[in-house]
Structure 1
């Protein structure tokens, strides 16, 4: 029976790095969302400074960098992973500005100094890099699903990625409306007084828009985490669900014949008959008895 071909020596280490990268991304995404929301809405971690932001963004960069060890010969896969890694590194570098912008006073745009404007622009770039990171991470998961031999996983990833790309449009619209909450409340007060009375004030409208942004971002991150978990389980299932080696048939064993080192079992009756036959043929006849 022919032995199965041996696995490539770099396959198992690359799969190990892939699983570790997916696990790091799976846990760092909700942690990063929690830290960013805490910084923007209620900065209760002021004693920690920028450390929670740097830790969460560094975990995402570490998880993205682990993915490049899988299938290094695939150019499309490697380019998508490299873009994700670069975006995560940009977020690591710009993470402190999200903490520093909370210390800026509420002034008109023209009243800010050059340093304060630099903090605002860097925070905008950080938010844009975060959105691009999520978009490109969905693309990376699509490429990963195309390489894994699981059609169900491929169909699920395609469905979730399509849903995420649809949800990104209302997310961007809600983020833009948060900045225009004062103007929107004035428009509602003139055109729809009942809607303006429902929100109460511009601050109430801004809070509702911020809640919608948080809900949409949580939904997108949850679907992305679902895809990463399913991909990790598919990889682990492919590694540990090995098929047993089939046993040879009885006909094959008979055709092959006994091996040299194989012990043959002889029936007891046959051995006794053969011994009696040897005794009768081996004894000489004494001529004196005749």
Structure 2
């Protein structure tokens, strides 16, 4: 009887972990789709007054991105109820959750930048939103690495280490490429070699974003799915997570 309560508590926390991983798996691509649409697509126009059209556009654009980014906060909150006593895991997850909350607060800049891209304040807010999203993805990989260390699956641990390292380099390349492009655009006069670099970045920006942006996202989703499967295997195989 003495073991029933801890075992029930562990099962409850594992269920919350699975719930959080599922929300995270679907929330990541949802956030990407909603954010890209808000920042780049034509916003709804209501044929009423100008004020009414603006309010309607804000409702149809800001609310979805609020909900999508809020789903990530919910997912990480659910995951945080697993193994609360593990400080390394808890701190890694808290960093990712803090950036997720920051994403929620910065998400309206996607709408405002779409409406007025020439406004410097909105441009800075949009850049901060993008930077915060990349940092969130990086810290999420760190949290997944800590989670894999607590699960009884050596294959998952080795795959998580390899994928997380690759994601780190890809995300650093993404930040470096964006920083280089912005710096080249702001410089008044460029040598011929730097002009060619700027033109290459402009010409292949879609391929650059796919390789250095979407690939880390896809690998992170793979890690989330594998972690959820490992949790299911630990439950039904009666293998329990150990400490870091």
Measure how far apart 1:68 and its partner are: 0.8
1:173 equivalent to 2:171? Answer: no
1:8 equivalent to 2:7? Answer: yes
- Please tell me whether the aligned partners of residues 178 and 209 of structure 1 are also in contact (alpha carbons under 8 angstroms): no
What value does the CA root-mean-square deviation take over the aligned residues?
2.8
1:238 equivalent to 2:241? Answer: no
State the partner residue of 1:150: 153
State the partner residue of 1:34: 33
Superposed, 1:174-213 pairs within 5 Å as 174-180=177-183, 182=185, 190-191=192-193, 205-213=201-209
Measure how far apart 1:28 and its partner are: 0.9
- Structure exhibiting the larger radius of gyration computed from Cα positions: 1
User: Which of residues 152, 163, 167 in structure 2 aligns to 1:164?
Assistant: 167
- Please tell me whether the aligned partners of residues 58 and 92 of structure 1 are also in contact (alpha carbons under 8 angstroms): yes
Q: For 1:161, what is the secondary structure of its paired residue? A: helix
TM-score, normalisation: structure 1:
0.68
- Please tell me whether the aligned partners of residues 26 and 225 of structure 1 are also in contact (alpha carbons under 8 angstroms): yes
Q: For 1:149, what is the secondary structure of its paired residue? A: coil
Supply the distance in 1 between the matched residues of 2:76 and 2:117 (Cα, whole angstroms). Answer: 36
Measure how far apart 1:18 and its partner are: 0.3
Q: For 1:230, what is the secondary structure of its paired residue? A: helix
Supply the distance in 2 between the matched residues of 1:118 and 1:92 (Cα, whole angstroms). Answer: 18
Supply the distance in 2 between the matched residues of 1:166 and 1:105 (Cα, whole angstroms). Answer: 30
Supply the distance in 1 between the matched residues of 2:194 and 2:126 (Cα, whole angstroms). Answer: 34
Supply the distance in 2 between the matched residues of 1:105 and 1:136 (Cα, whole angstroms). Answer: 29
Against the structure 1 CA distance between its residues 180 and 67, is the aligned structure 2 distance closer, same or farther, given a 3 Å change threshold? same
State the partner residue of 2:84: 72
4+ long deviations beyond 6 Å? none
Superposed, 1:110-129 pairs within 5 Å as 116-129=119-132
Against the structure 1 CA distance between its residues 155 and 81, is the aligned structure 2 distance closer, same or farther, given a 3 Å change threshold? same
The unaligned stretches of length 5 or more in structure 2 are 45-56, 240-244
Greater relative contact order (Cα < 8 A, sep 6+): 2
User: Which of residues 208, 215, 226 in structure 1 aligns to 2:222?
Assistant: 226
